[in-house]
Amino acid sequence: MNIMNSAPAPTLEETLQPVSTASGQPRRYGNFATFCEALDYAAQGEAGINIYSGKGTLLEALPYRTLRDQAVETGLRLLGMGLQPGDRVAIIAESDGDFARIFFGCQYAGLIAAPLPLPVAFGGKDAYLATLRGMIKSSLSSAVVIPNIIEGWTDEIVAGLGLVFAGSPADLMARPVPDISLPVVKPDALSYLQFSSGSTRFPMGVCVSHRSGMANVSAIARDGLQVRETGDRCVSWLPLYHDMGLVGFFLTPLTCQLTVDLLPTREFARRPHVWLDLISRNRGTIAYSPSFGYELCARRPASADLDLSCWRVAGIGGDMIRAHILQEFADRYAPVGFDPKAFVASYGMAEATLAISFVPLDSGIQTDTVDLPYLESNAIARAPATPDTPSRTFVVCGKVLPGHELEVRNAAGRVLGDRQIGTIYVRGPSLMSGYFRMEDETNKVLDSDLWLNTGDLGYMLDGQIVVTGRAKDLIIINGRNIWPQDLEWSAETHIPTLRSRDVAVFSLEKGDHEEIVALIQCRTSDPSVRAALCSDAASLFRRLHGVDVSVVLVPPHALPQTSSGKLTRAKARNMYLSGAFAQQTQVA
């Protein structure tokens, strides 16, 4: 044998080929009774899921036909260990094929999947484990599947919980496939629990049935994204434990037979360019991100090798939308084919499965600039009186999905007209049936006519909704309604050393008045620089907003975030009150 002439063994990337874009079957837009039925249909075609590493290397190509076979076997394994239809299975959600197999195994077995977060956006191991154990307990899960990346924490995660199963995906797949039958899954059965983001309170399990989930994905595909008969392909780094990732880029593609390329969420912040590279390389047409994802990409120079002309739906949602960040992204990537008309603003929440409204396609980012003092004093969004009037620019978030209703109401419940600020209510077939085993909390937000109080404030504008913020975050000073986002964005925009999500603003009751506090992440220990940052921020708040603010510097990465990357002001406030931050404060 001539060893010198032997060809080298092929690498994983050379032997694997990604699942193709074309499904080769007539497109159906989520018109199925259950997610099982949707996968049964997708399995007849060629589409599927491609799993990539954070560096963009293909790790697994998973056609829907293969996923179906593996999911059925996984469901039988789960039932074979004594689980009964209706039991909950907690799945700590890595963006990989194992999650897909286990999630759909639950669907076929009539079990209720409960996707849980990885420790991406938590303040250390202890805080993560406390949140995770709280979710497992509140969902009354009988089993928990723990990915290899945190397998070493298994004992701490499950101690004292009395679970039927707790182990890795490999442990589950090593179980024998019993010779039993799968149950018949009904449309009104619960499909999964989606834990709310927890931006203002501890996450609660949102109950999503097959029927409500299918109503939302069908409207997303048919009306929001207007998925085409051929040529569409999804690319996502969004977490599968959050509604935008799970529903938008896992369930929706499958229910309309689209191929989706998945990147690991935990590596996106280090290599955001890989997302764009994958869109370019695989000719992705649909991809979404909150504002901070576009911001991370905008900080990098555009590679000449990119071609983003294929990207027809550049979705934006998941948090308050920052128009200036999207403009920076569009400017940076215009030379490589990105079309700013591809931006699609949308609004939604887990309690509505995912989507509530979409801006019409091909219209780009639409904004509305309003008189800020008048808004704060009168709760009306009118145009600025003069060019020098302090203003606030909001992004328009589109029209409510067909088959759904949306109203803006005042405190007395009266429906308001255009430009009048009130609470946003929504009703329709996508809504949750409630929070899992939390009747009192459900009754606080869902009335007898099945209208959901979203907890968001906003106003109507020519048939579209404009979201102005969370009601619980609103600061009321001397009759003025002050949005903390206004102060946060002013600091992050006007102080060069600050970045997006570096500032958290909230108020505290101090006797007969409210004190506004701004926590600002500071990346230097130089006393003179720190003092200057405090002084500059306090002066900025006074000059632009006419309010006195206590400025507190905190270490980098100290501000708490939800599992989806949102700033959680409520937790930041609690941490401040408990003395969690070493304080260097300047009271304006």
- pLDDT tens, position by position, 332-367: 999 999 999 999 999 999 999 999 999 999 999 999
549 is a domain residue:
yes
The pLDDT score that the predictor gives to residue 514 is 79
Mark whether 411 and 527 lie in a shared domain.
Answer: no
Domain shared by 529 and 453, yes or no: no
**Rg of the chain taking only CA atoms, in angstroms:** 24
pLDDT, mean of residues 238-252 = 96
Tell me if 323 is assigned to some domain. Answer: no
Whether residues 222 and 79 share a domain: the answer is yes
Per the domain annotation, does 330 fall within a domain?
A: no
Residue 205 belongs to domain with CATH number: 3.40.50.12780
DSSP 567: B
Each residue's pLDDT tens digit, 325-337 = 999 999 999 999 9
Which of 443, 472, 501 represents a domain boundary (last residue)? 472
Nearest residue to 422 (alpha-carbon basis) of 453, 458, 471, 454: 458
Q: How many domains does the chain have?
A: 3
Q: Provide the 3-class DSSP secondary structure of residue 37.
A: helix
**Tokens 């369930």 belong to residue:** 251
In this predicted structure, the answer to whether residue 587 has a pLDDT above a threshold of 70 is: no
The bridge status of strand 452-461 relative to strand 422-427 is: antiparallel
Residue environment code for 281-313, b if the CB has 16+ CB neighbours within 10 A, otherwise e:
bbbbbbbbbbbbbbbbbbeeebeeebebebbbb
Whether residue 216 is contained in a domain is answered as: yes
pLDDT, greater one: 209 or 582: 209
Mean pLDDT of 221-241: 97
Task: Tell me whether residue 579 is in a domain.
Answer: yes
Tell me the average pLDDT across 474-503.
Answer: 85
Q: What is the pLDDT of residues 125-135, one digit of tens each?
A: 888 898 899 99
Query: Among 444-458, 495-509, 554-568, where is mean pLDDT lowest?
Result: 554-568
* pLDDT (mean) for 567-572: 81
Question: What region, left, alpha or beta, does residue 482 occupy, with left being phi > 0 and alpha being psi -120 to 50 degrees?
Answer: beta
- Residue pair 520/498 in contact by the 8 Å Cβ criterion: yes
pLDDT number for residue 199:
45
Q: Are strands 355-358 and 399-400 parallel, antiparallel or unpaired?
A: antiparallel
Which pLDDT does position 318 carry in this prediction?
A: 77
Q: Give domain status of residue 392, yes or no.
A: yes
* Interval 18-43 mean pLDDT: 97
Q: Are 229 and 147 found together in one domain? A: yes
Stretch 264-287: mean pLDDT: 95
Cβ neighbours of 7 (radius 10 Å): 5
**Residue 119 shares a structural domain with residue 248:** yes
When pLDDT is cut at 50, 70 and 90, the band that residue 320 belongs to is confident
Q: Is pLDDT above 50 for 439?
A: yes
Are 247 and 382 in the same domain?
no
Predicted local confidence at residue 121, as pLDDT: 58
Q: How confident is the model at residue 4 (pLDDT cuts 50, 70, 90)?
A: very low
Q: For residue 303, what pLDDT band results from cuts at 50, 70 and 90?
A: confident
Sign of the four-CA dihedral 538, 541, 546, 550: negative
Clarify whether residues 166 and 227 are in a common domain.
yes
Share of the chain above pLDDT 90, in %: 71
Alpha carbons 359 and 365: distance in angstroms, whole number:
8
The CA distances from residue 221 to 22, 148, 214, 258, 494, in Å, are 16, 33, 10, 10, 39
| Residue 431, pLDDT score | 98
From CA 276, how far away is CA 333, in angstroms rounded?
10
Last residue in a domain, options 271, 298, 318: 271
Q: Looking at the predicted structure, is the pLDDT value of residue 511 above 80?
A: no
Mean pLDDT of the chain: 91
Based on the fold, state whether residues 458 and 561 are members of the same structural domain. no
Please tell me whether residues 454 and 514 are part of one structural domain.
no
User: Does 14 reside within a domain?
Assistant: no
Please name the amino acid found at residue 542.
R
Work out the pLDDT band at 8, boundaries 50, 70, 90: low
What's residue 542's pLDDT? 87
Which domain-ending residue is among 271, 302, 321? 271
> Could you tell me the pTM of the whole model?
0.88
Alpha-helical (H) ranges within 1-153 are 12-15, 35-42, 64-80, 97-109, 125-138
237 and 386 in a single domain? The answer is no
How far from the centroid of its chain's Cα atoms is residue 520's Cα?
24
- The region that residue 364 occupies, defined by phi over 0 for left and psi between -120 and 50 for alpha, beta otherwise, is left
* Mean pLDDT for the stretch of residues 557-567: 73
Summarize pLDDT for 131-173 with one digit per residue, the tens.
Answer: 899 999 999 999 999 999 999 999 999 999 999 999 999 999 9
Q: Are residues 254 and 376 in the same domain?
A: no
- Return the DSSP state at 360: P
CATH number, position 576 = 3.30.300.30
515: which strand partners? 508
Residues 408 and 502 in one domain: no
Residue 357, classed as helix, strand or coil, is: strand
Quick one: pLDDT band at residue 5, thresholds 50, 70, 90? very low
CATH of the domain at 380: 2.30.38.10
For residue 106, what are the domain limits? Answer: 28-271
Q: Has residue 251 been placed in a domain?
A: yes
Residue 187's pLDDT band (cuts 50, 70, 90): very high
Residue 453: count other Cβ atoms within 10 Å of its Cβ: 16
pLDDT digits (tens, 9 = 90+) for 62-112: 999 999 999 999 999 999 999 999 999 999 999 999 999 999 999 999 999
The pLDDT of residue 119 is above 80: yes
